[in-house]
Structure 1
Amino acid sequence: MMVMRAKDLLGRSGEALAAVFLENQGMRIVDRNWRCPDGEIDIVAIEGETLVIAEVKTRKSLDYGHPFEAVGEAKLARLYRLSSSWCREHHLNARRRRIDVVAVIDNGVGEPQLEHLRGVG
């Protein structure tokens, strides 16, 4: 039996919140936690004719900076590569692709706060 660390549980909770949030924004979630040898995509969604790769960053507080700060150029480049791998595996020719980041602040008290950056990078 595998026990999840508190950090992993927080991350999974944030991803679930982000998926509902994105659905409420009109996106259709088509995959979650997709993995390949090069990494993982948190959420794959469709908005209109655009494939959206959503990276979710969850924190308990802003003590160590805003979650958006954790997505730099190297992470964006990896997400673009992963989006190509996902499309190949699913036989999808997505001409329009976008990387979004969803920040979740959830200190366990009150409602979690979510922010959504569209078209990062």
Structure 2
Amino acid sequence: MFNRELGARGERIAADYLVSRGFALIARNWRCRYGELDLVMRDGAAFVAVEVKTRSGTGYGDPLESITARKAARLRRVLLEWGSTTGHRGARLRVDAVGITLRPGEASPRIQHLRAVA
């Protein structure tokens, strides 16, 4: 249960961070037969799938290291399905990643945002 709670907390932090930078939250945890999008945001004219990776420390490496080319391609496929399903076919689509590191004893999380990972 700890990992699920950690992931949900990271998604809340990522959504708040991106909203504070002008993004609009469209959906959380959107699912289809190809997988799940943690967050769907709007950034100007683009719809953005945001993969959020959260760690409670650096013992397992940087959170963004876990996003492989294969994972990025799958996220792109799920985003295309989202666009088709929600009537946004042909819209500008992008996949971003946000890494959150929550270290015990530190007041603020470390947040990394990578644009256009796929």
Q: Same fold (TM over 0.5)?
A: yes
Could you tell me which amino acid in structure 2 is paired with residue 58 of structure 1? T
Q: CA RMSD in A?
A: 1.1
Cα distance, 1:113 vs. partner? 1.4
* Equivalent-residue separation in structure 1 for 2:36 and 2:117 (angstroms): 17
Structure-to-structure mapping, 1:37-116, within 5 angstroms: 37-109=33-105, 110-116=107-113
TM-score, length-scaled by structure 2:
0.94
Name the count of aligned residue pairs: 117
TM-score when normalising by structure 1: 0.92
1:25 equivalent in structure 2: 21
Q: Distance in 2 between matches of 1:108 and 1:21?
A: 20
Q: Partner residue of 1:119?
A: 116
Q: Which residues of structure 2 form unaligned runs of 5+?
A: none
After superposition, the C-alpha distances for 1:88-117 in whole angstroms (9 at most, x for unaligned) are 111112432111100000134321111111
Query: Runs (4+) of structure 1 moved beyond 6 Å?
Result: none
Q: Unaligned stretches of 5+ in structure 1?
A: none
> Does the CA-based 8 Å contact 1:50-1:94 persist in structure 2?
no
Per-residue CA distance 1:7-64 (angstroms, 9 max, x = gap): 1100000000000001011000100101112111000011111111100000011111
